[in-house]
Amino acid sequence: MTRAKKRRECPPLFLHSRLRALGARIKGEMKEPFFVLRDEVVLETFGEESLVLLLDALELRRINAVSRRLLDSLATPRSATVLAAALDMQPPVVAAALREMEAQRILRRIVSLKQERNETMQDPTYLTNPEVSYRPEDDDGAILFNADTDGLEVINPTAMEIWKTLAAPRTEAEVVARLCEVFDDAPREEVAKDVSEFLESMVKKGFIGIVEEAS
């Protein structure tokens, strides 16, 4: 059956709904995040497993063969859909692996960050500025350094946890929830206050950004 013939067979209402579905899919793909390997990462493979060294934080991560395959294709930004198609993998599996590697600071998301929230933003998500390198010194504190601006911050263990949480976009409430899990003896109000102050200060200084919502 030719396409033209099929179209003729479609009642007008059905045709419109097909077009709407197609539009929604295109819009969805445009919204789908793109990821890329962070510059500060070195990979080494040992049999079925690979080790990832984060040069700025001097931390090691262990990844499986699936993740390693994905990383080989992430020297340039790709979305989960594109990667899944290129590597003949299941999109949900790819998406989950990408999110996991983002949280581990192996990958970074290509996203536009802002220093001010729109009036219309109800619950903005925050993300660490990819230009800032994170350098933990034992468990006592860490150095944040932006080589582009010479910006420097020294942060305490609570702020270190917030920083790690914001390797992937999170709302303020999600950050508070995460910190309450880690510091389970700290009063929630105190944690919420610390998180709010830290986010405000870091966004102002450009170390953390507000994720720009797709229009």
Partner 1 sequence: MLPEDCCDGLPDVTEAEQPSPELNLPPDVPALRTFYLYLSAGCNLHCRHCWITPTFVNGKPVPAECLDFNALEQAVADAKPLGLTSAKLTGGEPTLHPEFVRIVDFLADQGIGMTMETNGTLIDGNLARHLAAKKLSHIAVSLDSSDPAWHDSFRGRKGAFEDTVRGVSHLVEAGFRPQIIMSVCRENLDHIEGLIALVQKIGAGSVKFNPVTASGRGKEMHNDGGGLSFDELMALTRRIRGELQDRFPIHLCIMIPPALLTAKEILRDKSAGGGCHVRNILGLLGTGEMALCGVGRNVPELCFGTLGKDNLRDVWISHPTLVGLRKDLDGPFHGLCGDCVHAKRCLTHCVAMNYEMTGKLVNVSPLCAEADRRGLFPVSRRVGG
Tally of CB atoms within 10 A around 134: 21
> Is 154 one of the binding residues for partner 1 (CB under 8 A)?
yes
For partner 1, give the closer residue by CB, 54 or 211.
Answer: 54
Sole window of 18-26, 116-124, 152-160, 175-183 interacting with partner 1 (rule: CB under 8 A): 152-160
Q: What is the per-residue burial (b if ≥16 Cβ within 10 Å, else e) of 44-59?
A: eeeeeebebebebeee
Q: Which residue, 81 or 158, has its beta carbon nearer to partner 1?
A: 158
C-alpha dist (Å) from residue 125 to 112, 174, 179, 203: 12, 9, 16, 12
Inter-residue contact 105 to 38 (CB < 8 Å) = yes
Residue of 135, 172, 182, 206 that binds partner 1 (CB under 8 A): 135
Q: Does 42 bind partner 1 (CB under 8 A)?
A: no
The verdict on 55 binding partner 1 (CB under 8 A) reads: yes
Min dist. Cβ of residue 158 to partner 1 (A): 11
Contact flag: residue 158 with partner 1 (CB under 8 A): no
133 is an interface residue for partner 1 by CB under 8 A: yes
Stretch that binds partner 1, among 19-27, 64-72, 132-140, 205-213 (CB under 8 A): 132-140
Q: How far is the CB of 93 from partner 1 (least distance, A)?
A: 33
Instruction: Answer yes or no: are the C-beta atoms of 123 and 175 closer than 8 Å.
Output: no
> Residue 195's CB: how many other CB atoms inside 10 A?
25
Compute CA distances 93 → 34, 39, 113, whole Å: 15, 24, 27
Using the structure block, give the residue that is written with the tokens 């508070």: 176
Q: Is 58 in the site for partner 1 (CB under 8 A)?
A: yes
Residues in the chain: 215
The answer to whether 173 contacts partner 1 (rule: CB under 8 A) is no
List residues near partner 1 by CB under 8 A: 40, 55-56, 58, 133, 135-138, 140-143, 145, 147, 150, 152, 154-156
